[in-house]
């Protein structure tokens, strides 16, 4: 076993520091301090409330006791489902990210308790899965298609790497290494063929390779990717498991949405280390299939409840949308990996869309209940739950939110990249400087569009370097000033790219980015038949919706947006934890309410306009936190536009 030549950045989410085919390098979680604004309170709530609630659920449902049972320190039967170990691992990974942001002695003690329970359950040969202990030991590796053994192992590997990066302690990493060694000895060119029905192990093995420097783990990830789409098939041979074609031939995103995004993460990670162009081509083609033809306006992925899967191109039902929280998270992780390859803003744009909408909707404002599915229309029956029998989403959203500081910034050979905007400061390496520089950020994004950046500290020796600021694709006319004057940039100042400021920087330099926020009416591609004649409302990165609780009993389905209706943004600190809501006037009909005919003549002339109704639209992420009632994202538009 060989260690990497230099220490990995403390708490990087994905460590591309030495990845030869990645353009961007990580800025670790511990180098970013968030201060107020939109995200800092949410991350504090996740650390203080959500992690505690999820740990209590893991204890109450026997998930941690399953490890104690496997270690022989607790009796009884295995409790729950065969993939329950993975929920504990995801919780542990999220807790490690919380510790990377700052000390928390109580959380650290709980993490140590859980880590010791996991370590105690490991067999002498390195195998670790609490379901396949004692009475089920003979069943190990006998049903790779269905029983998630490598999936669970992958989540342990990720948790262990995050734990070592956050704490500096190798104990849990050593557990992961023994398990990875067992997998490499069991499956590979000189051993068994096979791979897991639920992807996850591939990207985890690459990250373990990055942490340890042991090439076997990278090679094993490539081997496992190559097992898909074989003849005869090693899994189901269907797109549900992404087993219908060899991975390099897959260009249309299909099958189980979470599995598909995790597969694509693995493809991208292996490319970043090996430079095999076919893997990158496949990942980009799949991404363009997903986000060009199959993604919801919220960044959600997965149209079908059956199979939790993608549908056909432009098949995006609203009320029956599956849009699993885990799929939106998988899409963000995938987009992040592609962003690190070349720095294309389109990947960061979709990350932002998913983060503020299709992911954040998955957790309640109090941090203690969750959505599994995230529909874009509801009749008032879909409500968040404190836990699930299949509880993949709760710890997944916790680990994503607590890792968020690691997604805000990157570095490259020529400078610093700012992908997402949040108040606070970042300590970051700049070319030529003997020590890191400190960049302070002031903003009330996403409620306001002004972003002020100040170079608070610049050590001696810094040469010429480039500061890049993402210009969100939703912003038509951004403005950029340097020390109070309009800034010359390397590119055209339009949304959908990065503004590049290349200069000899001085301590105290200030950059101001203005991202004008206006209320936008968004229409879907004409082939999205579920949205024909409808439009959605957005402001900045936020998608909005109408809830019945704001309409005095009116069903949002009966509301029509008149052409040219004026909508104003209004800050309401006491509403839903403090939001900007959109106000305006719509009309009921045509036809209005339950009295409308099921069918009417198309040539009967325009139906008369109904009575006016006051509109109050709220951010989609905050829906279903008040009195149950109907909700709509896509609203009927007068004149049938869209």
Active site residues: 308, 392
Encode 49-85: b = buried (16+ Cβ within 10 Å), e = exposed. ebbebbbebbeebbbbbbbbbbbeeeeeebebebbbb
Q: CB neighbours of 421 closer than 8 A, spacing ≥ 6?
A: 441, 443, 445, 451
Cα–Cα distance measured from residue 270 to residue 22, given in angstroms and rounded to the nearest whole number: 11
Tokens standing for residue 351: 């990350």
How far, rounded to the nearest angstrom, does the alpha carbon of residue 133 sit from its chain's CA centroid? 33
CB 337 within 8 Å of CB 26: no
Cα–Cα distance measured from residue 159 to residue 176, given in angstroms and rounded to the nearest whole number: 9
Q: What share of the chain is helix, strand, coil (3-state, %, to 5)?
A: 40, 20, 45
Report CA-CA distances (Å) from 195 to 43, 125, 180, 227: 35, 20, 14, 6
Cα–Cα distance measured from residue 376 to residue 499, given in angstroms and rounded to the nearest whole number: 33
Cα–Cα distance measured from residue 208 to residue 168, given in angstroms and rounded to the nearest whole number: 15
Tokens standing for residue 117: 């329970």
CB atoms within 10 A of CB 123: 16
CB 11 within 8 Å of CB 97: yes
DSSP 8-state symbol, 363:
B
Q: Which of 30, 304, 276 has its CA nearest to residue 162?
A: 30
Report how far apart the first and last C-alpha atoms of the chain are (Å, whole number): 59
Report CA-CA distances (Å) from 18 to 206, 209, 344: 12, 11, 20
For 108-152, where are the E strands, in sequence order?
none
DSSP 8-state symbol, 355:
I
Q: Which of 409, 423, 453, 439 has its CA nearest to residue 12?
A: 409
DSSP 8-state symbol, 629:
-
Residue 144's SS3 state is: coil
Cα–Cα distance measured from residue 429 to residue 463, given in angstroms and rounded to the nearest whole number: 12
Residue 480's SS3 state is: strand
Phi/psi of residue 443, nearest 5 degrees = -165, 155
Cα–Cα distance measured from residue 10 to residue 8, given in angstroms and rounded to the nearest whole number: 6
Phi/psi of residue 378, nearest 5 degrees = -155, 150
């Amino acid at each position: 076993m060989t260690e990497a030549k230099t220490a990995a950045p403390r708490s990087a989410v994905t460590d591309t520091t030495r990845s030869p085919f990645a353009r961007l390098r990580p800025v670790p979680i511990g180098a970013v301090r968030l201060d107020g604004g939109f995200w800092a309170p949410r991350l504090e709530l996740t650390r203080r409330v959500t992690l505690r609630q999820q740990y209590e659920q893991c204890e109450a449902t026997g998930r941690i006791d399953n490890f104690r049972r496997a270690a022989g320190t607790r009796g009884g039967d295995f409790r729950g489902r065969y993939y329950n170990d993975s929920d504990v691992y995801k919780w542990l990974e999220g807790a490690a990210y919380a510790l990377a942001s700052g000390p928390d002695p109580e959380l650290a003690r709980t993490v140590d308790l859980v880590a010791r329970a996991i370590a105690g359950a490991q067999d002498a040969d390195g195998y670790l899965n609490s379901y396949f202990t004692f009475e089920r030991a003979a069943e190990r590796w006998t049903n790779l298609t269905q029983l998630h053994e490598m999936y669970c192992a992958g989540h342990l590997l990720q948790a262990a790497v995050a734990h070592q990066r956050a704490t500096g302690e190798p104990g849990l990493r050593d557990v992961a290494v023994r398990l990875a060694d067992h997998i490499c000895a069991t499956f590979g060119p000189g051993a068994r063929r096979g791979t897991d029905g639920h992807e996850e192990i591939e990207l985890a093995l690459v990250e373990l390779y990055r942490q340890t420097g042991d090439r076997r783990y990278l090679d094993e990830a490539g081997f496992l990717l190559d097992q898909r789409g074989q003849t005869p098939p090693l899994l189901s041979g269907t797109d549900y498991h992404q087993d219908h074609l060899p991975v390099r031939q897959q260009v249309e995103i299909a099958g189980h949405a979470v599995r598909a995004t995790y597969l694509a993460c693995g493809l991208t990670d292996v490319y970043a280390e090996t430079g095999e162009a076919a893997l990158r081509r496949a990942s980009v083609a799949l991404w363009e299939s997903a986000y060009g033809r199959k993604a919801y306006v919220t960044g959600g992925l997965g149209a079908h409840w059956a199979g939790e899967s993608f549908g056909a191109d432009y098949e995006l039902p609203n009320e029956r949308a599956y849009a699993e929280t885990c799929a939106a998270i998988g899409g963000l992780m995938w987009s992040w990996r592609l962003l690190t390859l070349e720095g294309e803003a389109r990947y960061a744009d979709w990350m932002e869309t998913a983060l503020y909408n299709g992911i954040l909707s998955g957790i309640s404002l109090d941090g203690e209940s969750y959505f599994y599915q995230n529909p874009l229309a509801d009749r008032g029956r879909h409500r968040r739950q404190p836990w699930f029998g299949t509880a993949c989403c709760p710890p997944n959203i916790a680990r994503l939110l607590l890792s968020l500081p690691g997604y805000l910034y990157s570095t490259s050979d020529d400078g610093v990249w700012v992908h997402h905007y949040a108040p606070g400061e970042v300590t970051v390496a700049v070319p030529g400087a003997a020590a890191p520089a400190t960049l302070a950020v002031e903003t009330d994004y996403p409620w306001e569009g002004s972003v002020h950046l100040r170079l608070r500290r610049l050590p001696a020796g810094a040469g010429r370097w480039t500061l890049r600021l993402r210009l969100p694709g939703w912003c038509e006319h951004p403005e950029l000033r340097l020390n109070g004057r309009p800034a010359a940039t390397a590119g055209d100042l339009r949304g959908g790219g990065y503004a590049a400021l290349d200069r000899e920087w001085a301590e105290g330099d200030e950059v101001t980015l203005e991202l004008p926020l206006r209320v936008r009416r968004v229409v879907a591609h004409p082939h999205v038949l579920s949205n024909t004649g409808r439009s959605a409302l957005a402001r900045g990165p936020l998608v909005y919706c109408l809830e019945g609780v704001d309409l005095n009993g009116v069903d949002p389905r009966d509301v029509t947006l008149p052409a040219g209706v004026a909508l104003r943004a209004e800050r309401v600190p006491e509403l839903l934890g403090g939001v900007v809501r959109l106000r305006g006037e719509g009309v009921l009909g045509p036809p209005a309410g339950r009295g409308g005919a099921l069918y009417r003549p198309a040539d009967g002339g325009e139906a008369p306009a109904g009575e006016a109704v006051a509109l109050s639209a709220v951010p989609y992420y905050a829906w279903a936190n008040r009195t149950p009632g109907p909700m709509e994202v896509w609203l009927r538009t007068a004149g049938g536009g869209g």
